[in-house]
Structure 1
Amino acid sequence: MINNLPEHERALWILKLKGPMPLQPIAGELQVTVEGARFQLLKLAAEGLVVASSVVKGRGRPQQVWSLTDLGQSRFPDTHADLTVRLIEMTREKLGETALQTIIDGHRESAIQKYKSSLASEGSLEEKVKQLARLRFEEGYMAIAEQEGDAFLLIEHHCPICAAAKACQGFCNSELKAFREVLGTGVEIERVAHIIKGDHRCAYRITAK
């Protein structure tokens, strides 16, 4: 998918997928020279989409690391963000937390039904996690599945409901509950990275009990 993007946008996708990175690895991902990568990044920086900062690791010289700005993050849309936040605030103000939780619970039940209807009732945990990742990718979460030892990682590089999740973290808790319901009682799921807490992605470690 990245290789089919306009050249000047590929660096944005790489930083979204990989998180903050130094210049040389970015050049490697872009398959261009270091100078070519620097040119692209400086152009994006002039547009306010990326920024470079110095990071000190150990006793070595500070390393320049590139990352997306808030404007750069906005290139990966948060679906109907402003309207969603206003509706959450109005529901909380007019109807109370109980009503808001009822809405969140309804959203979770709808997701559970959708995922269960798409995931095979039989099959390995790996197959189920990969299928769940495909469903989440289709919903805009830029999700992938990876194996990590005896566990699997469900990694989401983007959150299309981030504004809603910031306004009400019940949505994040609801998603975790939905994953546990869909994958079954014989599975342990732990969130190990969280965009809301400043990580560049959300990630869930999934293991068989």
Structure 2
Amino acid sequence: MNHHINDYDSALWLLKKKGPQTLIEVANELKITTEGARFKLQKLANDELVTSSTRVKGRGRPQQIWSLTRAGHARFPDSHADLTVKLIDLIRQSLGEQAMETIISENEKAGIIKYNEHLKGVNELEERVNKLAEIRNQEGYMAECQKQGDVYLLIENHCPICAAAQTCQGFCRSELNTFQNVLGENVSVERIDHILAGARRCAYKIYLQ
């Protein structure tokens, strides 16, 4: 997946995927020295792509926390955002809200067919969630699966259709319906983080009922 970010800006990928990080955490994740990490982050800060803040935790020394700015997040582009928003507005104006709902519904059906095809023969819930994360990652969502006891988290660190979702939140509702459908009737899927609600990512809690 190419977001037009060169190797030098690997810190951007880290902050997008992991969220705010300390200097030491950045250095450890990128396997470079703290001075090397500081140099990378300072250059990105000069370009207004990252920013730092101070966090006090307990009685220890204040920690400097680095995170993406709005411009930094924008380096992970929304797929054809302007055109998508214009098309949504035109459909609503020309054909009405019901036509928009029909399009969302048909897109959902197509997604369910596609995911079910990829998940064919995958029976265990853990395997199915991991496979779903793999598919979503290929679609540009920077997706991953984490296991917490009997619960699985499907985490999407980027939303390539964010502009469309902001214009029409039916897309978000449809995604939740799609996950529920392909993972099975005996599986509960709950959205616990939502980019449109201000979170840095979308995340879904998945478990057997």
Aligned residue pairs, count: 206
Cross-structure match for 1:106? 106
Alignment of 1:67-82 (within 5 A): 67-82=67-82
How far apart are the structure 2 equivalents of 1:177 and 1:8? 39
TM-fit CA distance, 1:36: 1.5
The 3 A distance-change label for structure 1 pair 8 and 119 is same
The aligned counterpart of 2:156 is 156
- Name stretches of at least 5 consecutive residues in structure 1 with no aligned partner: none
1:66 corresponds in structure 2 to 66
Partner of 1:40: 40
Residues 99-118 of structure 1: CA distance to partner in whole angstroms, max 9, x if unpaired? 11111111111100100111
Greater CA drift, 147-156 or 87-96: 87-96
Report the equivalent of 1:138: 138
1:8 and 1:205 mapped to 2: Cα distance? 34
Asked if 1:196 corresponds to 2:196, the answer is yes
Deviation at 1:6, TM superposition (A): 4.8
Contact 1:11 1:40 survives alignment (8 Å): yes
Q: Which amino acid aligns with 1:31?
A: K
Cα deviation, 1:39-88, whole Å, max 9, x if unaligned, reads: 11010111121111233445666432111112211221210001111111
Aligned residue for 2:25?
25
State whether residues 194 and 203 of structure 1, in contact with CA within 8 Å, keep that contact through their aligned partners in structure 2: yes
Match of 1:129 in 2: 129
**Alignment check: 8 A CA contact 1:120 1:128 kept:** no
TM-score of the pair, normalised by structure 2: 0.92
* Closer/same/farther in 2, CA of residues 51 and 101 from structure 1, 3 Å limit: same
> Offset at 1:93?
2.4
2:94 is matched with: 94
Whichever residue aligns with residue 199 of structure 1, its letter is A
Deviation at 1:94, TM superposition (A): 2.5
**Hey, what's the Cα distance between the residues in 1 that align with 2:148 and 2:188?**
14
Return the alpha-carbon distance in structure 2 between the equivalents of residues 157 and 62 of structure 1: 27
> Any stretches of 5+ residues in structure 2 without a counterpart?
none
Q: Sequence identity, in percent?
A: 55
Q: State the Cα distance separating 1:7 from its structure 2 match.
A: 4.3
The DSSP-based 3-state class of the residue aligned with 2:160 is: coil
Per-residue CA deviation, residues 116-163 of structure 1 (Å, 9 max, x unaligned), is 111024520111111111111111111111211101111111110011
Residue identity in the other structure for 1:105: S
Number of the residue aligned with 2:205: 205
Superposed CA RMSD: 1.8
Q: 1:52 corresponds to which residue?
A: 52
Secondary structure (helix, strand or coil) at the match of 1:123 reads coil
Q: Which amino acid aligns with 1:34?
A: T
> 1: distance between equivalents of 2:117 and 2:189?
20
CA distance in 2 between counterparts of 1:175 and 1:22 reads 33
